[in-house]
Chains A and B, each alone.
Chain A
Amino acid sequence: MKKQAQHIVPPAERANLDLDSGKYLVMWQGPNHPGITGNMSLRLVIEGDTVVDCETHVGYLHRGFEKLMERRLWMQNFPLVCRIAVPEPDFNEYCYAAALEELAGIQIPDKAVWLRTLSLEMIRLASFLMWIGGQAGAFGHGTIGQWTVTMRDYVLDLFEELTGGRIYHMFIIPGGVRGDVPPGFLKHVLETMDIIQKNLDDVELVMFHNVVYKMRAQGLGYIPPDWIDHYGITGPNARAAGVTRDLRKDLGYLAYPRLDFQPITGTVSDAYERSRLRLAEMYQSIDLIRQIVANMPSDGPFREKLPNPLYWKIPAGETYVAAECTRGEYGFYVVSDGSDKPRRVAVRGPSYTHAVSVMERLVRGVNIADVAGLMVSLHTYPPEVER
């Protein structure tokens, strides 16, 4: 049963622990952890089975994307950026393309706006489907993952049909998208949404009305609302704390202003609340996808012609373009010095905040068995921490 009715908030300062006292054990989680929580590591100090201190360590997955981009033509970076966040590549594609379009003063066709929105919602759903399997699994509930990873694969089938790729879609190209929908595609989308919705109903039943899940997730990882701005927490982690912050509404990019939806918020701000909220957002995505299919123009150009990619130069300037990904604010800061390559690109993945700073503090006082579940409840992707 729950240990504390009241949420404890770990203090900002780390305790000064005498590691030689024999009271503590230093233990590493990662970087070889097989889940999404892997690829980075936590240096945990435990007392009994309680974590009393933590240091987050990153650097195991550094591929140097931002630097690589400075040595590639603007268009050559288009296939590169998707790889920054593997389960959710499309936000990279969108932010990069939109940043370039803004700097170069390019207006993309309406059809492209809709197809981009469709891609982003589809990948949001796919990413949540993968996450929920991880969340359930971290608390010992492997079956959910088997179901939802299959559902995710159905979304990837849709991506394969639309873009020719399952994981890396490379569809949102500067200027628009790379193709119109193939015949029959939208029908497949709607059919798939029905299947997924039915499955989510099952997930809701067996995961959220589950005594084990409730006991382990409720009260875990409480994020007080005043942390939100202090750490720069965004996305479901912020919304579960009652902060109405959703870039789809706040920035109103792509076709979102033309879609009917409201940001979903919670109150309790613990692991359970966050996962319920994400589940609700999956239903919301399904609804948005149906709206997109219903409202998208059936024809029209889907890409604006750009100059020859071999010499394309973008006027000097800088911009920051952000979008609401599953984990919160995803952003690209792009600087052009007027040449044919970016001068600097900096990628903001929300996991930097959530996995490195928030996790480090939040994990203190948590039972060792709940560390992975807590981390998943923050929905962190180490690849986007290290660009």
Chain B
Amino acid sequence: MDIKDFIAPFAVWKRAFEKPFTVNKPIDERPGAPRYRGFHINDSARCVGCGTCEAICMNKAIDLVPVDALKPDGGDSGLRPRVDYGRCCWCALCVDICPSGSLGMSNEYLWVDRDPEVFRYTPGVEAKPWDGAELGYRRADGYRLLEEERVDMPELDHHEAVKSFLELVRGYSRQQAEKEADRCVSCGVCVASCPAHMDIPGYIRAVREGDLEQGLRLLYETNPFPEACGRICTHLCEAACSIGSGRSADGTPTDPVAIRWLKRYIADQVELADYGKALPRAEAPTGRKVAIIGAGPGGLAAAYYLALLGHGVTVFEKDEAAGGMLRYGIPEYRLPYPALDKDIAWITSLGVRIRYGVAMGKDLTLVSLYGDYDAVFLSTGLTVAYKLDVPGDKHPRVLDGVAILAAATRGEPLGLGRKVAVVGGGNVAMDAARTALRSGAEVDIVYRRREVDMPADPEEIMEAKAEGAILIPQAIPLEVKPAEGPDAANKATFVWNLAEMVQKEPGKRPVPEPIPGAVVEKTYDSIIAAIGQGPDLSYVAEGDGIEIRRYKPVIGPDGRTSRATVFAGGDLTNDRKDAISAIADGHRAALAMDRLFAGKEA
């Protein structure tokens, strides 16, 4: 031992007079670090109630609970996460995974209360002092647990696309589909938004796990048109998808899961010959007979589910092929006929009989069916094209959009000429414009309101423009005049008035008001009107016992008309006027008829 060993320890005294390291609460505040993982905060307006936070929490500290002030709607379950601090370990995985990015943590770490119950609360709903805290844990830029971008869909480039009617969207490969399916968090907020309430998380899971037969089975539970819907569905589900509810680092919205393309992937991958392995066969015949008017998606969906239940189905169709507007409206570059034919082939394979070339009202009357069939389903769609309704709209160069598209389907010459105006902003207008482009025309799309007001799918508008169509918005049609100059007989002059948008009534959409003097005239070879369609209900006579109000059969919640054995659905009755709603209507009517036959309802 050294003398130092006796003296050195006394050096501790030098610190006796130093300022202590400790913090004097409450005189000194000691805020948590800017990244501190303190009590949760949730921006309830951005949260979509998807429950992904609940799913990832390994402590089961989160429960999704209903919140009175919130109404569930497309893309919001109306639930919000409640955190139990008796379980939470402050890992913030919930914050990291939250698709909407609404969940965060404050840097507050002190909370004293005698009542243990209060330590379980719903952030963003039950007010807390740290609400809206600027500081606290947020997931870092460049760090995400979920993939925010969707797998790119291979597509024809626009210059190629416009040269032919080849299908534009090429479809995912297996690897692409599985990667895209991996983006889904199975929250199911999409299911409520789908008119047919398809089991979306279920079939996406099937893609992820490579079990396509299971996928197909799930698709057919609610939708016998997976090939068609996998291409042209209006995909409300994708608007609801929680994965699309966030913001990427650059501020743009995150991409929703490509639900529609995944549906298509499943149907594309299973050969029709193998459908039988995956899908149920029809039950034993019940002896009941149902007549269905119209072989569109609504009518055929009803036919499919009725046939599955063992009921005999006859479909009466005025045209020479089935599919309704899916065939005669939607062009083949969006929905190739073989894909549609595959859907229809499976339906008819169940014994559904389709009688082509039978127009109700002309070849047969409704009453004549009442005796032969136990029930009737009306789904005749919207076959009457509305007119421009301006002076001169009977000019022979004014054509109607659905008729042009039907002619294209039938392979008839379109004779549109070089310069074409398409009037309208819906899907029919876009399809007519793009069909005209493919026939080599220069196309102007003349629309009365703004581009944002167009009812067509934004993708459709984008593609029409990319393929060369010129959009002329805020143009009110005034008149169609005979053309002047050379070849005047084969042309017409379209006159419109440019408009400004005026907010006339609060809460309603702005109204186009003509700007005085801003009148434009242009001469076209064809003017295609695509302003809207209505039903042809001339086949329903007053004595048929079917109440009609404003050109719509009046139906109850199960699709039943005022006559107990007659049901209606599809574009004819619903407001959405898209394929999936028609399919949902058909399914609903089939189930209602089955209940009717079983005597479960008067």
Interface residues of A (CB under 8 A from B): 72-73, 75-80, 83, 143, 147, 150, 153, 157, 160-165, 168, 170, 178-180, 182, 202, 205-206, 209-212, 214, 301-303, 305-311
Contact A206 B9 (CB under 8 A): yes
Residues of chain B with a CB closer than 8 A to A170's CB: 91-92
* Residue in A150, A301, A309 whose beta carbon sits within 8 Å of that of B145 in the complex: A309
- From residue B30, how far is it (CB to closest CB) to chain A in Å? 10
Q: Which residue of B lies closest to A210 (CB)?
A: B9
| A206 x B8 contact (CB < 8 A) | yes
Are A303 and B143 also in contact (CB < 8 A) when A76-B58, A143-B12 are?
Answer: yes
Residue of A72, A161, A165 touching B58 (CB-CB under 8 A): A72
**Interchain nearest-CB distance for B247 vs A (Å):** 18
- Most B CB within 10 A of own CB, among A205, A303, A310: A310
Q: Which of A206, A301, A306 has the most CB of B within 10 A?
A: A206
Query: B-side binding surface: helix, strand, loop or mixed?
Result: loop
Contacts of A302 in B (CB 8 A): 140, 142-143
| B172 interface residue per 8 A CB criterion | no
Per-residue contact bits, chain B 2-45, to A (CB 8 Å; 1 contact, 0 not):
10111011011001000001000000000011111100000000
- Whole-angstrom distance between the alpha carbons of A150 and B15 in the complex? 13
Smallest CB-CB A-B distances: 8 pairs: A79-B91, A76-B58, A179-B140, A209-B8, A164-B35, A164-B37, A211-B5, A160-B33
B 429-483 contacts with A by CB, 8 A: none
Q: Are A303 and B142 in contact (CB under 8 A)?
A: yes
Shortest A378–chain B CB gap in Å is 24
Which of these, A153, A160, A307, A309, contacts B36 with CB under 8 Å? A160
In chain B, what residue has the closest Cβ to A214? B5
**Contact, CB under 8 Å: B140 / A178:** yes
Contact of A308 among B36, B140, B143, B147 (CB under 8 A): B147
Apart from the given pairs A79-B89, A147-B15, A160-B35, 4 other A-B contacts in the complex at a CB distance below 8 Å: A161-B34, A170-B92, A309-B93, A310-B56
- Residues facing A in B70-118 (CB within 8 A) are 89-93, 96-97, 105
> Which of the segments B180-188, B498-506, B515-523, B586-594 contacts the partner chain?
B180-188
Between-chain CB contacts (< 8 Å), 30 pairs: A77-B58, A79-B91, A143-B12, A150-B21, A153-B21, A160-B36, A163-B35, A164-B33, A164-B36, A164-B137, A168-B89, A168-B91, A179-B35, A180-B142, A182-B35, A205-B8, A206-B9, A206-B11, A209-B5, A209-B9, A210-B8, A214-B5, A306-B145, A308-B145, A308-B147, A309-B93, A309-B145, A310-B52, A311-B182, A311-B208
Check A78/B93 contact, CB under 8 A, given A303-B142, A308-B183, A311-B182.
Answer: yes
Residues from chain B with a CB closer than 8 A to the CB of A205 are 8, 11
Chain B contacts to A: CB under 8 angstroms: 1-2, 4-6, 8-9, 11-12, 15, 21, 32-37, 52, 55-56, 58, 89-93, 96-97, 105, 137, 139-140, 142-147, 182-186, 208
- Find out whether the CB atom of B12 lies under 8 angstroms from the CB atom of A165: no
Scoring A77, A164, A211, A308 by chain B CB atoms within 10 A of each residue's CB, the highest score goes to: A164
Given the complex of chains A and B, what is the CA–CA distance between A153 and B12 in angstroms?
20
Residues on the B chain within 8 Å of A305, using CB = 144, 147
In the assembled complex, the Cα of A308 lies from the Cα of B208 at a distance in Å of 11
CB–CB A80/B8 < 8 A? no
Query: How many angstroms from the CA of A15 to the CA of B456 in the assembled complex?
Result: 91
Residues of A within 8 A of B142 (CB): 180, 301-303
A209 to B182 Cα, complex, angstroms: 62
Chain B residue with Cβ nearest A144: B12
**Alpha-carbon distance A78/B58, docked complex (angstroms):** 9
In the bound assembly, the distance between CA atoms of A230 and B589 in angstroms comes to 79
Contacts of A211 in B (CB 8 A): 1, 5-6, 9
A308 to B201, CA, bound (A): 14
Contact B182 A308 (CB under 8 A): yes
Which residue from chain A places its CB closest to the CB of B187 in the assembled complex?
A: A310
Taken together as a complex, chains A and B put the C-alpha atoms of A319 and B509 apart, in Å, by 63
What A residues does B146 contact at CB under 8 A? 308
Q: Which residues does chain B contribute within 8 Å of A150, judged by CB atoms?
A: 21
Residues in A with CB closer than 8 Å to B9 are 206, 209-212
The complex places the Cα of A303 from the Cα of B141 at a distance, in Å, of 11
A180 to B35, CA, bound (A): 11
Output the residue of A165, A303, A308, A311 with the most chain B CB within 10 A: A308
Interchain nearest-CB distance for A47 vs B (Å): 30
Whether A209 pairs with B55 at a CB distance below 8 angstroms is no
**Do A179 and B58 touch (CB < 8 A)?**
no
CB distance from A49 to the nearest CB of B (A): 24
Residues on A with beta carbons closer than 8 Å to the beta carbon of B140: 178-180, 302
Of chain A, the residue at the smallest CB distance from B142 is: A301
Tell me the nearest residue of chain B to A215, going by C-beta: B1
* A81–chain B nearest beta-carbon distance, Å: 11
Bound-complex Cα distance A202 to B5 (A): 14
A168 to B208, CA, bound (A): 34
With A72-B58, A75-B56, A302-B142: A206-B12 Cβ-Cβ less than 8 Å? yes
